[in-house]
Amino acid sequence: MKEGFFDREKISINLAKLKKGGQNFEIVVDPDQAVAFKEGKTSDIGSVLHSEHVYMDAKKDELAPETLMKKVFQTGDILKIAEIILKEGEIQLTTEYRERLRQEKKKKIMDIIHRNGVDPRTHLPHPITRIEAAFEEAKVKIDDFKKAENQVQDVIKQIRVVLPISFETKEIGVKIWPKYAAKSYSTVSQFGKILRDSWQPDGSWYVVVEIPAGLQNDFFDKVNNLTHGENDIKILNEK
C-alpha cells in the first residue's frame, strides 16, 4: 500500500465504490491486486489499497468523515471498511486497464480451447485464427473478474453457435478429507461438470468430475492448494 494521497492531476484512477447508508464511499485500488482479490487469489486488503483512505469523492480528495464511517460501517478501521467496499461494492477500472485485462483473459481462453477443442467432423484442432474469428462472430463476452479457466465452459456454449467444436475431457475422481470437504464444492464445480458425488462415513467427500483435459494440471494444483494435499485424486476415464 502506498502512503499519502494519489496524484490529484491523474484523472484515470481505479476505484472500488459502494453506496451504503445513503452515502457514497470510495477507495483507490491497485487494479491487479483488486482483480486478484475478486478472484480469490489474495485476501491482503493492504496490498489492494493505493492509499489507506476512504473517500466520499476520490477524484476531489474528499475524505469520508470518521464519524460517518463509524455510523455506517460500525467501525473506523480503514482496512475493514475497505474489505466491505470490495466485497459489496463495484470495482471501476480504467478503460485502458479493463481492455488489457480482457485481452489477456481472451487470449488465455482461446489457448485453452485451441489445446483441447477439435472439429467433431475431422477430429482435428481448429486453427487459433478460426477460434479468434468465432469469438468475434459470436460476440463472446469476457467477465473481467472471473478466472479465464472458469469461463471456458461458458465461452464454448457461445462459440458453438458458429463453430462446430468438441472437447477432449477427463473424468477425475477426487476424495477430499473431512475438514476441507464442505468448502470444496464450489472450487471443483468451477472446473467442470460434477457427474456424481457422495459423503463418506468418515465425513470426507468423494466426487467424480468431468473437466477439459487441458485443465487437468490447473485442477490438480487448485485442489492440492485448497486441501493442503489432504486428498486422493485419480484419473478414471479419458474421452
pLDDT digits (tens, 9 = 90+) for 119-170: 888 878 889 999 999 999 999 999 888 888 889 889 999 999 999 998 778 8
pLDDT digits (tens, 9 = 90+) for 48-104: 998 899 999 999 999 999 999 999 999 999 999 999 999 999 999 888 898 999 999
Mean pLDDT across 101-115 = 91
> What are the distances in angstroms from CA 112 to CA 151, 196, 217?
11, 25, 12
The CATH number of domain 95-166 is 3.30.465.10 = no
What is the arrangement of strands in the sheet containing 117-119, beginning at the earlier edge strand? 124-125, 117-119, 166-167
The pLDDT, as a whole number, for residue 3 is: 46
pLDDT digits (tens, 9 = 90+) for 173-217: 999 999 999 889 988 998 888 999 999 999 999 999 998 776 788
All structural domains of the chain with their residue ranges: 15-92, 95-166, 169-238
The pLDDT, as a whole number, for residue 27 is: 96
Mean pLDDT across 4-14 = 58
Share the mean pLDDT of the chain: 89
The pLDDT, as a whole number, for residue 205 is: 96
The CATH number of domain 169-238 is 3.30.70.240 = yes
Distance CA 138, CA 162 (A): 7
SS3 state at 80: helix
Identity at 176, one-letter amino acid code = I
Domain 15-92: assigned CATH number = 3.30.1250.10
